[in-house]
Amino acid sequence: MNKPAELPMDRAGDPRVNRTVDPILDPAAGHASTALDSGPTPESRPQVGVSRAHESAHLHVSGEAVYIDDIAEAHGTLHAALGLSPIAHGTLVSIDLELLRRQPGVVAVLTAADIPAENNCGPLLHDDPILAEGELRYVGQPVFAVIARDRELARRAAALAKQAIVATPHPAVLTAREAHALGQYVIPPMHLSRGDAASALAAAPHRLEGDWAVGGQEQFYLEGQISYALPQENQALLIHCSTQHPSEMQQLVAHAMGWQAHQVTVQCRRMGGGFGGKESQSALFACVAAIAATQLRRPVKLRVDRDDDFLVTGRRHGFDYRWSVGFDDEGRILAAEIDLISNCGHSADLSAPVMARALCHFDNAYWLPNVAMHGYCAKTNTQSNTAFRGFGGPQGALAIEMIVDGIARRLGVDALTVRQRNFYREGHDLTPYGQQVEDNLLRPLTDRLIETSGYHARRAEITAFNAGSPVLKKGLALTPVKFGISFNVVHLNQAGALVHVYTDGSVLVNHGGTEMGQGLNTKVAQVVAHELGIPAASVRASATDTSKVANTSATAASTGSDLNGKAAQDAARKIKRRLMPLAARLLGCGEDALVFDGGEVRGGGQALGFKELVAKAYLERIQLWSDGFYATPGLHWDRAKLQGKPFYYYAFGAAVAEVLVDTLTGETRVTRADVLHDVGRSLNPALDIGQVEGAFVQGQGWLTSEELVWHPKSGLLLTHAPSTYKIPTANDMPRDFRVALFDAPNAADSIHRSKAVGEPPLLLPFSVLLAIKDAVAACGAERCDPPLRAPATPEAVLDAIEAVSSAT
Ligand code: MTE
Ligand code: MOS
């Protein structure tokens, strides 16, 4: 419902696509960006750069797509449920196991003592217990697991946690500010600076101070966390797990079992959404299912319901900020000093790389000559926060966008003008972490969007509208995005693939990436089809499986198609190279003359079916399958100094949002949004537009309606279901939503010169928040700067209106 990105539709005829990606969509134009062995010919039919439906679209809509819970259950399958800590902090004294074991249908109760080896499911630091041991750290922490005949009975017994758990409560730290005041962090503070922010601040003609916060966000994947573990012969396990990171699940399960990695196979055909929430945090469920299945020698499934999913797992980090900026009369930033305090929850999880990405995105689109950033990863007695689309990038960039907006309001200048004056430009294009902003599209992209959106005319119209409208106010904002693509951790930027060509000419591709609705499998299949010159329908992608491609990275950081696309291309090219001598011989031409295209191989004025070629190659004993590998070149990163070249390239984008605010109720509506987003040369414009639309609305939800509330005393997350936690629906989409792709080939040698698209567009709806702020400002005196909170719920909007109107 909240994921229009997953609506399967073929947009080949969509004017939004045609207008912006003409050269690719026009089959006659071939695919100019790739120097293929089989260079483009007038009749070539490119398989990349075309809008193809998601490979599972027909299965999604018919309900046939298999998610973990749809896998036919093996005979004897048992079901697990988790018993959760009722207190935010305390010492675990005992668990009344007898009470639990007595419950109907209960087969076993597991506690930390049943874990054969390491009690940890944390990805980086080993500070994340699978089941609580000694200390209780947050309300919702799994303390025991009940294994029962069916899921309902397991849940009924697990619900007795409050009675079964005996604990001594301790004072809890529930907010990041509190933890920061106590110096309580999950990792040591991180500092990234350039120049001399303190003296530049002191010398600046104008200064602006800020104290602000943005809330966290629940991933709200439609398929909740789930793992299904099946014991295999000779001490081994097959685990079906809804995860973005099968290899890490394999490792963590092996560590918990005290096994070798080869004893554990993890499979995932698809997720019903991950959004970062299944990058590390699918591990707890995989580990519990694995331990139970092994101990009981029965298949065990653990599927948590939505409330437990909310209570057990973490989400996007909420951030608190304190900043001080200095600027000149034109609004040019001369110095910025900022504290970023993230609420990490009880353990480190991925909080360190999330903070690193936040620090590397505070600059967003702007040249900051003197800057000092201080990142504090606050440890609190709440769920452990984790990856969520953007991975800290949005929280870093949002701060500077609020700052720029504040500067503009102070000076009485349109915020867009201040943005443009601060843009990275030639001579001012080195980021605080030492990477050059190359192939900077900020100016051409925003210039085009300003024009196509009619920004300036609409600004004037809105000013006129607001002058004559006391109750309804309109607001407008344009915000840019610059997002770095690659994992900040260099070694993660690698991928593998396996391509099998069968003797009938059909192809199966397997790669290390996972499908979560984003269309990765579709894109990778297109790449392979393109390479072999066969129709996309001849290529099928199979489930991600740790026994096929080993030691994979998480499908994250938006790098899925960049990495796995290149790896699959490598594999397909190897096969093609093996076929070429035979094809040249059969066609009586040189290898240079061969063209693989449209399901055939041409050369010397003759053609041969790909099928026939493959069948002949088999008889000639030519290897028809291959592995492929890719490692992103040129990256380096000093984690201690936070300096280097962490990103292979940047993706750019910009959005103009127009909103209507009801000043009596605080309700807001996005009346129009114009988006221009850079995906390089799109591999599949329909999928990319879907990703942009989905990310936009998801980000809009984060900034306007999704509010997390923990009970201030007990620490219970009160908003643990859709009844109290409001994700955006189709109804919240911008009424007039114009999404276009900025067609410019990636200057970096990415797969077919495309760019990653998964996360960057999540930053586009900053424009929505700032448009709301703009509308609120229309209720106050000239140059007022509304103290609008995020998420800008109706309450927050009313509070901000109240503040600006009572000041006049
Ligand atoms: N799109 C859908 N439909 N579902 C998802 O779970 N996850 C996002 C993004 N788009 C997600 C999605 C996140 S957090 C990332 S990192 C990327 O997809 C991962 O996929 P990619 O690297 O293949 O783009
Ligand atoms: Mo995405 S937050 O990198 O899984």
Please name every residue paired with 84 in a beta bridge, in sequence order, or none if there are none.
142
CB within 8 Å of 182: residues ≥ 6 apart = 173
Q: 471 burial class (0-12, 13-18, 19+ CB within 10 angstroms)?
A: exposed
Q: Which atom of ligand 1 is nearest to the CA of 389?
A: 14
Q: How high is the pLDDT of residue 477?
A: 98
Ligand nearest to the CA of 757: 1
If one counts every other C-beta atom within 10 angstroms of the C-beta of residue 306, the result is: 16
Q: What is the pLDDT of residue 381?
A: 98
Strand partners, 325: 208, 336
Closest to 428 (Cα-Cα) out of 742, 747, 679, 194: 194
Q: Which ligand is nearest to the CA of 517?
A: 1
Between the CA of 519 and the centroid of ligand 2 the distance, in Å, is 15
Residues 548, 519: contact at Cβ < 8 Å?
no
What was the pLDDT predicted at 807?
A: 82
Give the C-alpha separation, 67 to 543, whole Å.
Answer: 11
Active site annotation includes 759: yes
Give the pLDDT confidence of 85-135 residue by residue, as tens digits: 999 999 999 999 999 999 999 999 999 999 999 999 999 999 999 999 999
Q: Is the CB of 217 under 6 A from ligand 2?
A: no
CA dihedral (718, 723, 729, 731) positive or negative:
negative
Query: From atom 18 of ligand 1, which residue's Cα is the shortest distance away?
Result: 758
**Which ligand is nearest to the Cα of residue 5, counting in written order?**
1
Per-residue pLDDT of 340-356, as tens digits, reads 999 999 999 999 999 99
Taking the C-alpha atoms of residue 64 and residue 270, their distance in angstroms, rounded to an integer, is 12
What percent of the chain is predicted at pLDDT more than 70? 95
* Cα–Cα distance measured from residue 372 to residue 248, given in angstroms and rounded to the nearest whole number: 35
Q: How far is the CA of 276 from the centre of ligand 1 (A)?
A: 8
Ligand 2 pocket test, candidate residues 317, 389, 486, 518, most atoms within 8 A of CB? 389
Q: Which atom of ligand 2 is nearest to the CA of 244?
A: 4
Confidence of residue 172 (pLDDT cuts 50, 70, 90): very high
Residues 443, 425: contact at Cβ < 8 Å? yes
Cβ(135)–Cβ(88) below 8 Å: no
Instruction: Note whether 283 and 115 are within 8 A (CB).
Output: no
Q: Does ligand 1 come within 6 angstroms of the Cβ of 351?
A: no
Please state the atom number of ligand 2 nearest to the C-alpha of residue 759: 1
Residue type, 750: S
Judge whether residue 12 has pLDDT over 70: no
- Determine the atom of ligand 2 nearest the C-alpha atom of 557: 3
Residue 474's DSSP bridge partners are 660
Q: Report how far residue 264's alpha carbon sits from residue 289's, in angstroms, rounded to the nearest whole number.
A: 12
pLDDT score for 86 = 98
Mean pLDDT taken over the chain? 94
Contact 345, 185 (CB under 8 A): no
Does an H or E element contain 53, and which?
none
Query: Beta strand 370-379 with 333-345: parallel, antiparallel or unpaired?
Result: parallel
How far is C-alpha 784 from the geometric centre of its chain's CA atoms? 35
Is residue 7 over pLDDT 70? no
The CA-atom distances, in angstroms, between 474 and each of 85, 233, 773, 791, 803 are 46, 66, 10, 18, 18
Contact (CB, 8 A) for 246 and 253: no
Q: Which of 278, 279, 316 to mutate to test the pocket of ligand 2 (most atoms within 8 A of CB)?
A: 279
Element (H, E) at 580: helix 560-587
- Owner of token pair 């600027």: 327
Which atom of ligand 2 lies nearest, measured to the CA of 274? 4
Q: Are 96 and 164 in contact (CB under 8 A)?
A: yes
CA of 221 to the centre of ligand 2 (A): 13
Q: Is the CB of 515 under 6 A from ligand 1?
A: no
Name the pTM for this structure: 0.94
Q: Is the CB of 483 under 6 A from ligand 1?
A: no
Q: Measuring CA to CA, which residue among 671, 693, 702 is closest to residue 769?
A: 702
**Residues 223, 279, 706, 759: which is the catalytic one?**
759
Please indicate whether residue 558, judged by its CB atom, sits closer than 6 Å to ligand 1. yes
Please confirm whether the linkage preceding 791 is cis (ω < 30° from 0).
yes
Residue ID of nearest Cα to ligand 1 atom 7 = 275
Confidence at residue 281, expressed as pLDDT on a 0 to 100 scale: 98
Ligand 2 atom closest to Cα of 387?
2
3-state class (DSSP) for residue 70: helix
- CA 749 distance to own-chain centroid: 23
Radius of gyration, CA atoms only, the chain? 27
pLDDT at 141 over 50: yes
Higher pLDDT, 583 or 36: 583
Per-residue pLDDT, 658: 98
In the reported structure, the alpha carbon of residue 761 is separated from the centroid of ligand 2 by a whole-number distance in angstroms of 13
Distance CA(584)–CA(689), nearest Å, equals 41
- The ligand 1 atom nearest the CA atom of 561: 23
| Residue 586: both structure tokens together | 């059969």
For residue 466, give every residue at least 6 positions away whose Cβ sits within 8 Å of its Cβ, in sequence order, or none: 473, 474, 775, 778
The bridge status of strand 636-638 relative to strand 600-603 is unpaired
What DSSP character marks residue 43? Answer: T
- Give the pLDDT band (50/70/90) at residue 14: very low
**Ligand 1 site, residue 317, Cβ cutoff 6 A:** no
Of 378, 374, 394, 395, the closest CA to residue 324 belongs to 374
In short, whether 370's Cβ falls inside 6 Å of ligand 1 is no
Single-letter code of the amino acid located at 137: R
Cβ–ligand 1 distance for 556 under 6 Å, the answer: yes
Alpha-carbon gap, residue 808 to 797, rounded angstroms: 17
Nearest CA among 516, 705, 727, 522 for reference residue 5 = 516
Query: 2 C-alpha vs ligand 1 centroid, how far in Å?
Result: 14
Stretch (H or E) spanning 20: helix 15-25
Q: Phi-psi region for residue 331, left (φ > 0), alpha (ψ -120 to 50) or beta?
A: left
368 CB within 6 A, ligand 2: no
Residue of 278, 527, 558, 559 with the most ligand 1 atoms within 8 Å of its CB, for mutation: 558
Whole-number Å distance between alpha carbons of 776 and 788: 8
Judged by its nearest atom, the ligand closest to the C-alpha of residue 4 is 1
The strand pairing partners of 630, in sequence order, are 495
For ligand 1, the distance from its centroid to the CA atom of residue 86, given in whole angstroms, is: 33
Query: In the prediction, which pLDDT does 45 show?
Result: 74
CA dist 803 and 784 (Å) reads 10
**Helix, strand, or coil (residue 464):** helix
pLDDT of amino acid 6: 35
The Cα 595–Cα 603 span in angstroms is 6
pLDDT at 32: 33
Kindly state the average pLDDT of the residues 490-513.
98
Phi, psi angles (nearest 5°) of residue 749: -80, 70
Give the pLDDT confidence of 243-284 residue by residue, as tens digits.
Answer: 999 999 999 999 999 999 999 999 999 999 999 999 999 999
What is the end-to-end Cα distance of the chain in Å, rounded? 42
Q: What beta strand segments (E) does 570-648 contain?
A: 595-597, 600-603, 606-609, 625-631, 636-638, 643-645
Question: Reduced to 3 DSSP states, what percent helix, strand and coil does the chain have, rounded to the nearest 5?
Answer: 35, 25, 40
Check if 516 has its Cβ closer than 6 Å to any atom of ligand 2: no
* Number of residues in the chain: 808
316 lines ligand 2 (CB under 6 A): no
Q: What are the DSSP calls for 220-262, one per residue?
A: --SS--EEEEEEETTTEEEEEE--S-HHHHHHHHHHHHT--GG
Average pLDDT over residues 456-476: 98
The pLDDT value recorded for residue 33 is 33
Q: CA 319 → CA 86, 556, 695, distances in Å? A: 26, 21, 20
Count CB atoms within 10 A of the CB of residue 744: 17
Cα torsion through 612, 613, 619, 622, rounded to 10: -150
Instruction: Specify whether the CB–CB gap between 715 and 137 falls below 8 A.
Output: no
Q: Is 511 in the pocket of ligand 1 (CB under 6 A)?
A: no
CA of 583 to the centre of ligand 1 (A): 39
CA 523 to ligand 1: nearest atom: 23
pLDDT of residue 44: 58
Secondary structure (3-state) at 485: strand
